[in-house]
């Protein structure tokens, strides 16, 4: 470990959250018939039950980028540069099948350093696995009046001043790409309540640095595609885009709010089935 000075950026902490529910699995669960039990309430077919349990715990959940206001979340106090701990009392047994996400972090962004994670529990069986971060990347951004980067949608004259992120694919075949845009419900709730239409968000995707909707070469379902819908939500995304690599150029992702001068922070996440780089304007 490095030597740490006791400033906010070097304080360490933990966040404990529940993984996102698998909507498809939830729908299947709703459609299932109630399992037969005997007079003691035990399943008639215990083998089947154990197989289903093993299937649930066999895979790892996806990364969680947004914690809603009504979701379970426990934070440590970020009071030390050397140790952070959280004590969870009486974790419901039904949570254990899908597990919990343990997120170590520093007090401020862009810090680096090594760490060790230990988990102690009275549960009879427990595993601790790292969710792989390969082929995915997340960047924090902001719409700001000071930087002149809150340009609004293409209906605004200043729309090209929105933050831009450069996606460069490192492959020779079309890549399957998923792009997600998130913002904090805690930060944006009041702004959206005040102006639900103006605070809607979405993002544009262009090939090359010109950034014109008319010259887009991105195709989705056989049609030219330039942007997501603008929604009054805190997450918008598109999955399984097929993007061919472009020679000596990058794709440009430009998050925007519907109307200009709607300021606040956001997270942009990209995952793909090939290697890529994702950079902001200052890094490119």
Q: Are 17 and 104 in contact (CB under 8 A)?
A: no
Between 126 and 59, the more confident residue is 126
Question: For position 60, what pLDDT does the model report?
Answer: 73
SS3 at position 93: helix
Q: Are 188 and 194 in contact (CB under 8 A)?
A: no
**C-alpha torsion 69→70→73→75, nearest 10:** 40
What are the pLDDT digits (tens) for 246-284?
888 899 999 999 999 999 999 999 999 898 999 998 775
Q: How far apart are CA 9 and CA 7, in angstroms?
A: 6
Question: For position 188, what pLDDT does the model report?
Answer: 96
Neighbouring residues of 39: CB distance < 8 A, sequence distance ≥ 6: none
What is the residue-averaged pLDDT of the chain?
Answer: 82
What are the pLDDT digits (tens) for 24-41?
444 444 455 555 665 445
Distances (CA, A) of 27 to 30, 54, 77, 83, 162: 5, 19, 37, 41, 38
Question: For position 55, what pLDDT does the model report?
Answer: 33
What are the pLDDT digits (tens) for 191-208?
999 999 999 999 999 988
Q: How far apart are CA 255 and CA 150, in angstroms?
A: 10
Please provide residue 69's backbone torsions phi and psi, each rounded to the nearest 5 degrees. Answer: -60, -30
Q: Report whether pLDDT(49) > 70.
A: no
* Architecture of the 136-280 domain: Sandwich (2.60)
Q: Are 11 and 80 in contact (CB under 8 A)?
A: yes
Question: For position 51, what pLDDT does the model report?
Answer: 33
Neighbouring residues of 150: CB distance < 8 A, sequence distance ≥ 6: 143, 144, 161, 162, 257, 260, 261, 262, 263
* % of the chain surpassing 90 pLDDT: 48
SS3 at position 16: strand
Which part of the chain has CATH 2.60.120.380? 136-280
Strands, E, within the chain: which ranges? Answer: 12-17, 73-75, 101-106, 136-143, 165-169, 175-182, 201-207, 219-220, 223-224, 235-243, 251-257, 264-272, 276-280
What are the pLDDT digits (tens) for 229-256?
999 999 999 987 889 888 888 999 999 9
Q: Are 74 and 86 in contact (CB under 8 A)?
A: yes
What helix, strand, coil percent values describe the chain, rounded to 5? Answer: 15, 30, 55
* Cα-based angle 187, 189, 193 (whole degrees, multiple of 5): 140
Start-to-end Cα distance in the chain = 31
Q: Report whether pLDDT(56) > 70.
A: no
């Amino acid at each position: 470990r490095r030597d740490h000075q006791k400033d906010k950026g070097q304080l360490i902490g933990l966040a404990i959250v529940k993984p996102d529910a698998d909507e498809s699995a939830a729908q299947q669960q709703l459609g299932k018939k109630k399992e037969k039990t005997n007079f003691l309430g035990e399943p008639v077919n215990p083998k089947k039950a154990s197989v289903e349990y093993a299937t649930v715990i066999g895979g790892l959940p996806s990364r969680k980028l947004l914690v809603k206001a009504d979701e379970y979340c426990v934070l440590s106090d970020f009071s030390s540069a050397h140790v952070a701990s959280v004590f969870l009392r009486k974790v419901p047994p039904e949570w254990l099948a899908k597990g919990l996400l343990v997120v170590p972090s520093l007090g401020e962004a862009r810090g680096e350093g090594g760490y060790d994670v230990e988990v102690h529990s009275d549960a009879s069986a427990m595993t601790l696995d790292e969710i792989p971060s390969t082929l995915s990347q997340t960047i924090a951004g902001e719409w700001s009046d000071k930087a002149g980067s809150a340009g609004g949608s293409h209906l605004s004259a200043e729309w090209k001043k929105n933050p831009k992120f450069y996606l460069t694919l490192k492959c020779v075949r079309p890549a399957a790409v998923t792009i997600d845009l998130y913002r904090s419900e805690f930060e944006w709730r009041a702004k959206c309540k005040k102006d639900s239409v103006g605070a809607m968000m979405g993002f544009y995707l262009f090939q090359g640095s010109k950034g014109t909707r008319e010259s887009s070469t991105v195709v989705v379902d056989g049609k030219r595609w330039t942007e997501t819908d603008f929604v009054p939500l805190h997450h918008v995304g598109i999955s399984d885009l097929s993007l061919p690599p472009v020679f000596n150029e990058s794709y440009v992702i430009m998050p925007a709010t519907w109307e200009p001068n709607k300021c606040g922070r956001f997270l942009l996440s990209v995952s793909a089935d090939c290697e890529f780089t994702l950079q902001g304007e200052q890094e490119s």
